[in-house]
Amino acid sequence: MKALRAMLKTSPADAGSHLAGVRCSALIIEGSLDPDWADPRAEGEAIVAALPAGLGELAMIDGAGHYPHDQYPDRTATLILSFLRANADA
């Protein structure tokens, strides 16, 4: 609960400030209908752009909202497994 309470005190800007420090490949999965963003694709592209060059990859799941892993678990798992295979040596 302590960790959850701390998380609830942060904003997307707080998380975004750490993106430049990422040192491994990162897969960003966005639902095309995520109601949290006016333009989910643009949000995902902004996250990838904030990562060090070449580390980020964006995958969109058409029809998914904010929880694509729950709404489309098979599609999400396929994306993740493909990403892991492609980046196994990274």
DSSP assignments along 48-78, one per residue: HHHSPTT-EEEEEETT--S-HHHHSHHHHHH
**Which residues span the domain enclosing 12?**
2-86
The alpha carbon of residue 28 and the mean position of all alpha carbons in its chain are separated, in whole angstroms, by 3
Tell me how many domains the chain contains: 1
Residues 8-40: tens digit of each pLDDT: 676 666 678 889 999 999 999 999 999 999 999
Range from 59-63, 78-82, 85-89 carrying the lowest mean pLDDT: 85-89
Cβ proximity of 59 and 28 under 8 Å: yes
* Number of alpha carbons in the 13 Å side-chain half-sphere of residue 63: 6
Please give the pLDDT value at position 1: 77
Residue 44 has pLDDT above 70, yes or no: yes
Q: What is the CATH number of the domain that holds 36?
A: 3.40.50.1820
